[in-house]
Chains A and B, each alone.
Chain A
Amino acid sequence: MSLFSVLSIGASGMSAQRTRAELLVENLANAETTRTPEGGPYRRKDVVFESGAVGSPFSSFLDDQMNSPGGVSVAQIVTDTRDPERRYMPGHPDADANGYVAFPRVNPAEDMVDLMGASRNYQANVAAIGAVKDMIQRSIDLLR
């Protein structure tokens, strides 16, 4: 029930949103990538969040017993399985026999909007940490 565990909840939110932003930036950067180590064009990646106890190791046991609120974590990173977008570019080195090149199905507008969401939610978590930090400081000031 300590205020310090609230800090780790906020931190879990920050780290989850950061992972999401990283993937979104990766998607934007690879919007036109036609070659990947796995072969074929780049495929869009996204995160799946899940709620759960992400407390500090010190308090995690007690928190488990008390069914206290948890933070958020990245459950998995999903890769887009849709067929790639095909563009007719006969001169392209990656073109197939019919002259079509497979391009990633990345919509920059969609990713930019998601990126704004990730950034704002990151800020919300920072604000939560700031408010709790102030509360902890006030409690410490009681001793002065």
Chain B
Amino acid sequence: MLDRIGGQLERYMDLLSTRQKLVASNIANVDTPGFHTRDIDFQSEFQSAVGGAPQVMEVPGLAVRNDGNDVSLDRESRLLAENALRFQVASSLLRTQIRTMRAAIDEGKSS
């Protein structure tokens, strides 16, 4: 039981932390000349059967400033909050799964 849903949740959280890392990197480089915003394609990475390191790509269509930098602080702060909330939901779900499993192990005595 934990394998099927728990495995999906684990992959979801793993992708979220990868994405959060890219967001943090983009924010840190908001003043680096020539730096381009980097992200992952969340949907396709999550649906792809093969796990492993996700493909990092540069985000197209962002306004490039004079110094060649195209980091949008609005986009990054939105993603920062969104990822944190999604992670919160996923961890709550996983916690429920673990609690159910533990209840079964303890013959329903605790929980």
Chain A residues within 8 Å of B, Cβ to Cβ: 1-3, 5-6, 9-10, 12-13, 16-17, 20, 48-51, 66-72, 117, 121, 124-125, 127-129, 131-132, 134-135, 138-139, 141-142
Contact = CB atoms under 8 A, between A and B. Distances in A.
B81 A135 contact: no
A44 to B, nearest CB: 17
Contacts of A6: 17, 20-21, 24
Interface residues on B, range: 35 or more
Interface in B2-30: 13-14, 16-18, 20-30
A68 B25 CA distance: 10
B68 interface: no
Contact of B32 (A2, A50, A125, A127): A50
B35 interface: yes
Nearest to B18: A1
